[in-house]
Structure 1
Amino acid sequence: MIDRINTTTANLVRWLALFMVLIQFAIVMGRYVFGVNSIAAQESVLYLHATLFMLGAGYTLLVDKHVRVDVFYAKASPATRRRIDIFGHLFLLLPSMAALLYWSWPSVRNSWKILEGPLSVGGIEAVFLMKTLIPAFCILVMLQSVSVLIRLLSQRAPS
């Protein structure tokens, strides 16, 4: 079920990449061909980019395409890789996501309380929505981490 949540989310947000390209193209054409500029259009690319990456992170973990910084992982045996993955999820990923969720929540709550406005004059009046991506990111990644852990712990340890 968790995998399905992140797969569905990814299938929805992947279209944002196309919208980002189209909007950026329109911004460049507007600015350099027609001499027209829009702060809101520029910010919309930022909002789309943030949404794409924050909501797509859980899916990236699902398909195991995230960045690995463990230099020993590539040459490790399957059993060692499994132990590294379990350790990473239990002691690094889940605690860091829980800390980020905990420490970002007051900022998100306050942003909603005042319906925080644009980043720049003439920008999109929805910073509160962009800040909401932080807890959404944390929850989706934590859920996917639990799903991966369940799979790792239910496997027989390779020899």
Structure 2
Amino acid sequence: MGKWFAFLLVLIGTYETVARHFFDAPTIWSYDALCMSGGVVYLLGASYTHLKDSHTRVDILYSHLSPRRKAAFDVVCSLIFFFPLMGVMFDKAVYWAVRAWRIKEVMFNSFWYPPAAPYRTLFAIGLFLLLLQGLAKLIRDVYFLAKGENLD
């Protein structure tokens, strides 16, 4: 699903660039659409990035650890940092999504005033998928610590 938003991001960006620079006809909706599309790509891509272990990490100690110690380190860090932070973010995202639907919230960054609820809902879905991926990684790491072999 995220790839379609990336495609939309490219289309909107191209349209706005051509309209603005070649025809001197900027749009009022493109900035909001670009921000929303980029946010959806970022949030839906976060769980895939976590799956592939491609997130940014300060690698001073981690690269020198054995696979078993890496798994233990990942378990401890996910329990102390990842799940509390993502849990709070997901709770707030769901609250704001429900609120946006209830009050028919609009974004007021421009004079276009797009509805906020669909974007806020996709934000919450992206965080939920990231939490699920974090849980899957935690289970794999705990299994590796217990059995000494990969679950996959």
Question: Do Structure 1 and Structure 2 share a fold, with TM-score over 0.5?
Answer: yes
Q: Say yes or no: does 1:101 pair with 2:103.
A: no
How many pairs were matched up? 147
The structure 1 residue matched to 2:13, chosen from 13, 24, 45, is: 24
Q: How does 1:107-126 map to 2 (within 5 A)?
A: 107-126=96-115
Q: Corresponding residue for 1:68?
A: 57
CA distance in 1 between counterparts of 2:48 and 2:71 reads 20
The structural deviation recorded for 1:129 is: 1.7
Which residue identity does 1:68 align to in structure 2? R
Q: Say yes or no: does 1:127 pair with 2:116.
A: yes
- Unpaired runs of 5+ residues, structure 1, are 1-11
Deviations 1:56-75 (A, max 9, x none): 21111111111113531122
Identify which range, 51-60 or 112-121, moves more after superposition. Answer: 112-121
Q: Corresponding residue for 1:54?
A: 43
Which residue identity does 1:50 align to in structure 2? G
The structural deviation recorded for 1:124 is: 4.9
Secondary structure at the counterpart of residue 14 of structure 1: helix
The structural deviation recorded for 1:118 is: 2.9
- Unpaired runs of 5+ residues, structure 2, are none
Structure 1 length-normalised TM: 0.82
Deviations 1:78-133 (A, max 9, x none): 22211111112222111111111223443332222111113334325221222223
Q: Corresponding residue for 2:138?
A: 149
CA distance in 2 between counterparts of 1:131 and 1:77 reads 40
Which residue identity does 1:54 align to in structure 2? L
CA distance in 2 between counterparts of 1:82 and 1:61 reads 14
Give the CA RMSD over aligned residues: 1.9
Secondary structure at the counterpart of residue 37 of structure 1: coil
The structural deviation recorded for 1:138 is: 2.2
> CA separation of 1:88/1:80 partners in 2, compared to 1, >3 Å: closer, same or farther?
same
CA distance in 1 between counterparts of 2:59 and 2:80 reads 14
Identify which range, 40-49 or 15-24, moves more after superposition. Answer: 15-24
